[in-house]
Amino acid sequence: MNINKIKNIWIKTRKKRKAKTKVDVSKIKNMTEDEFLENYAKVKSSCEFYENILKYILGTITVSIITFLGYITYNLTTTYFSQYNLFTEEKKEIVSITYIISISIAVIVLISIIVCIYFYFKILKDKRFLLFIYEQIKEENKGARE
């Protein structure tokens, strides 16, 4: 298999993949009324489903994790700084290691929450974009009928 053939397969695959990400507006416009209604309902319910996950589940999980981490960090920090001078050298080392590990885990968890929320908003953006197109076409069809 020569390099040109591989290059062609690569271009073909990229084109296919790009076509899948693009919304084919003319295809939606050419749908029959029943097909359009069915797809519109699917897109709308899917968008609402993701929005509700964001509002209720993801929101609750994020707020509770951040509150929990914030409470633990605050508690550990105040205890650590107020009690540090009272400890012996060995205890100071144990307490410092505990404090550093807790803070590092809290930071890593927070960063991963931010990454998850970013991915989530990316999915939601695509869903809203598709819904917007369907709603525009619905309005157009309504206008044409009147």
Q: Token match 């319910």: residue? A: 45
Sign of CA dihedral 7, 13, 17, 23: positive
Can you give the length of the chain in residues?
146
Q: Minimum Å distance from CB 139 to another protein?
A: 28
Q: Binding residues for another protein, per CB under 8 A?
A: 1, 6, 9-10, 12-14, 16-17, 20-21, 76, 79-80, 82-83, 86-87, 90-91, 93-95, 97-102, 104-105, 108, 112, 115-116, 119, 123
In this complex, which beta carbon is closest to another protein, that of residue 52 or of residue 112? 112
Residue 99's contacts (CB-CB under 8 Å, 6 or more residues apart) are 76, 77, 80
In this complex, which beta carbon is closest to another protein, that of residue 61 or of residue 108? 108
Q: Minimum Å distance from CB 34 to another protein?
A: 26
In this complex, which beta carbon is closest to another protein, that of residue 36 or of residue 99? 99
CA end-to-end span of the chain: 59
